[in-house]
Each structure stands twice: as structure tokens, then as C-alpha cells.
Structure 1
Amino acid sequence: MTVSDKRSVAWDAYAQGKPQRRTTNARGEKTWFNWTQHPDHGPGAELLSVEPGDVVLDLGCGGGGNLAHLASLGMRAVGVDLSAVQLAKAAGRWSGVAGMELHQVDALAFLARSEPFDAVYSVFGAAYFTDPRVLLPAVRDRLRPGGVFALSQYPAVEGCYGCQASFIPRGPGRDPAVVRRWDHPPGTWRELFRENGFTDVTANVLPAPDTGARRVGTLLVRGVRAAHP
């Protein structure tokens, strides 16, 4: 079994217990974009600076909620994920949304052969679990000049930086799967983006909402592909 196959199995097991996105959000919308792990919190799709007709790539699209929202706004929304279970959920839940494309493939493998995109993003997705020194140039090379790359994930624990172990639940009575993730403080993310051909870089931790039991914020990083990286 290859490394990619092992990761697919891990994420399939994780997807089995992950609930579907709510039917509507607090505003009554059937599709919406959410960068954080908190419902109805934080910015939306405007961070991607895209408009109808643009082509957008979701790295680690999971159940496809963000992807469906972009497609409903008139974008061609392409999603990749290692988990067949997640993609089946996405295909079933959003079958009536035109403009979505789903691919079961490793993010780096897809980027190596894909077309150019107007924006690329990852919400607690493949960017969290891929070495940024490998991922960032791969994304840059598939972004049109002026295109946005944005990612969100948990903020790093102070002092625990670089490649870390992440444990993925696999159900009762089973040991968790172990995958690698990459954690850095905001300043390091800004440096990494700039070193790899991105400008107008921002990296900040969005605090958790004032209400609710979960108090961990969300790291949000955004950069624009320079004309001449």
C-alpha cells in the first residue's frame, strides 16, 4: 500500500463519522463559505477575489460545502480529495449544483498536471497536511498572475512548529491513524508565501466567537500570485 493509499484509508475512516453540513446557515442560506471551524463566523468567499466564470480549486474539498457555494455563484468549482467517502457525500449532497467537479487524487499530483486557476484555497484541507515548501510553489505555478491562494487551519501551539503528528479517529475500538501536518506561527507563513512568489500576504489568527464552548481560533493566510515570481 502506497503512502497515498494509507492516507486515503485514514481520511475515509475519518469521513465515516463526520456529519454533513447543516441544511441552512443562520441567515437561511442553503450554500455558504466558511473558513473556520465555528458556524456562522468569519469572512466568506470574498477573500478569493473571484467572480462568475472564474475557475477555482479546493484542495481537500471534503463534503463540498464551500465548493458548492462557489459553483452556485457562477464559478467553475473544482475539488480534489483523497477520501472516496467524502467525495461520495459531496456528490450526493450537491448533485443539483451545476459547475462542480470532484476528483479523488492527491493534491500535489493534481497540481502537477492541472490547468491554470483564478484562485486556489484549502480550508482545514490538503494545505494543512502538505509541506508548504513543496505545496506553495506547486500552487503558484497553477495560479494565474493576480490569483489568490488562501488557507485556513488551527493555529500552531506555541513552540510546536514545523512537521507535527496528527491523530485521525477511526471509530470505536480502533487506534487512530497518524498523518503529518505543518504548523507555523503567522510570521513564518508570511515569509513562506513571500519566498514562493506571493505578494500582499496576510496571516492572522481569527479569534473564536464570543459564544460557544470551543475557544480555539483559526489561522487564516492569504496571498496573491505575483506577476513575476
Structure 2
Amino acid sequence: MIEDRSCLESYFPIASFIASIIGSKCEVVIHDISNPERSIIFIENGYISGRKVGDSSTDLVLKLLKDESYREQPFIANYKARGSQGQVFRSATYYIKNSSSELVGMMCINIDVTHMEVAAEWIQNVLQGGSTLPPVPLMPQQEVVEKQTEEYLQGNVDDLLQHMIDSVLGKINVPAERLSSQEKIELVKVLNEQGVFLLKGGVSQVAKSLMISEPTVYRYLQKIK
């Protein structure tokens, strides 16, 4: 554990270095995955997303921990993230591993491109001049796969949980009281894959949203494992 913490701390100067190079619109965060509810142990320019040391993981961090994609690649880059105030970020995550090649943390870079997107749209309209030219992509074509990944930058655990649950339930557009038991099991499976149950309070919040008891959520989890 001490070794893992030292490993993470060795990235603090690198995070500051990156933020200094890119500038005030760049937030760099280091997450300690051993404590998802308070995973942020270092942050530069946290005012951009409103987060601070001691805040929680994001929905993407939790999902990456569940799908273990970090075993196949050293980082993911050029995906879109959104802030709690509607900001748009171009982001990247680097997997931090210890001397035994075990994942201990993540370094996340979030560049606020909110105003850039507005400027890009304005420039596009000027260049098109009312013609039917296809839209100019904000990112190069080779980044299409990466940008399908999205992240929600929220430091409050309860708000993060509710966002993750609402994102899943919002896709079915059916009130919880009208869902069958099998449909609720499938939703619990999806939420589990998203990493919701890695957070304390995940079972309680899911139970409330699906209008079932906490023991029922645990029973569903046993069925899908």
C-alpha cells in the first residue's frame, strides 16, 4: 500500500508539468482506485470542473475498473467529457501501474473546449456560406473510435450515482413500477457493468430508483454473477 501511494505521488510533478504546458483550461487529475468514493488525491486547475482533492471517481473511471480494459492498453485518449455545468472537455486517461504491473491509479487530462466548439461552429458556418457542404469534424477521422467514450466530471458521490442510474433508466423510458422482475435484473446487470456497485450507497440508490428492496438488489447481483 505504501509502495502504491509512492507510485501515485511520483506522478504529481508530471501532472503539474502537463497543466503548466497546456494552460489554465487544462485540468489534470490523479485518482487512487483503492478508494472510489474519495479517489482524487491530486488535481491541477480543479476550478474548471469544480472538483477537489477528496472527491469521487467518475462514471468512466468506474466503468474502466469493471471492464478491465487497462490490461490491454496503456491509455485511452481523445474522448469527450462533460462537466456538471454543461462544459465540454476533450479528455485522456493514462493508467498508472505499480512495479508488479497492477493498476493503482489513473491520471486524467481534461481540456475545456466549450468555447472552441462554439468558435468551430461559427467558423464552419462562415466557410460554408449557406452551402450544403458536410460539417467540418472537430476531431480528425482517426479519432472516431476514441471519441465515442464519454465521461461525466462530477465529484459528489450521490450526484454521480444518480447520474449513472438516470443515464441507464433514461434509455428505456418506462416507469420503474411498470418494469418486470426480469427487466429489473437486466438493468441491475447493466448498472453493475457500469461500476455503480463499486461505490458505497450504490445498492441503496439503485433499490430506491427501481422501487425494490436492497436485499432484492443483492439477490439480482447473485443471479448475474
Same fold, judged at TM 0.5 (above): no
TM-score, normalisation: structure 2: 0.26
Structure with the greater alpha carbon radius of gyration: 2
Structure number having the greater helix percentage: 2
TM-score (ref. length: structure 1):
0.25
- The answer to which structure has the higher strand fraction is 1
